[in-house]
Amino acid sequence: MTAAALELQKAIFTKLVENVELATLMGEVRLYDQAPANAPFPYLTFGRTSVYDWSTDTESGGEHLVTIHAWSKERGKSECHALLDAVRIALDDAALAIDGHVLVRLGAEYGEVRYEDDHDVNHGLARFRALIDTA
C-alpha cells in the first residue's frame, strides 16, 4: 500500500501544480514535501499521510488520509482560507490517474485555519480521504 500512497501524492502534486486558481492566488504554485528554509510565502506542503487496509475477501485496497498544509504571512486568515478552498475545489471528487491503482473516490473531510504565534504565520490544513483499489 505504500506504493499507492506515493502514487496518490504524485497525482495530487500534478493536479495542484497545474491548477490555475492556485497559480493566480500564489503567483506560481509552490507545493513541497518539505519546504526549504527560505521558501517564499504563501506555500503549500504535504503533511501526514495515513493508510488503512480495507481489503475484502475478493478485493484489495486501502483508505488513505492525506493532509495538505497552507502557510501564509498575510495578516488575517483570508489567504489561508482562499488557498484551502482552491485545494478543496481541485481535489474533491477529482478523477486522478494513479499508476497501478484505481482511485475509487477522493473527498475532502476536514479543514482548519489558525494563527501560530511562535512562527508568526497563519497555518491551514485540509484533510482528504481517498479510497484506492489495486488495479
Q: Which helix (H) or strand (E) holds 20?
A: helix 20-26
Torsion sign (Cα): 28, 32, 35, 41: positive
d(CA 56, CA 73): 46
φ and ψ at 31, to 5 degrees?
Answer: -125, 120
Threshold 0.85, pTM exceeds: yes
* Domain locations along the chain: 2-134
Query: CATH code for 2-134?
Result: 3.30.2000.30
Mean pLDDT of 8-23: 97
DSSP of 65-115, one letter per residue? EEEEEEEE-SSSSHHHHHHHHHHHHHHTT----BTTEEEEEEEEEEEEEEE
In this prediction, residues 59-74 reach a mean pLDDT of 94
Has residue 56 got a pLDDT over 90?
Answer: no
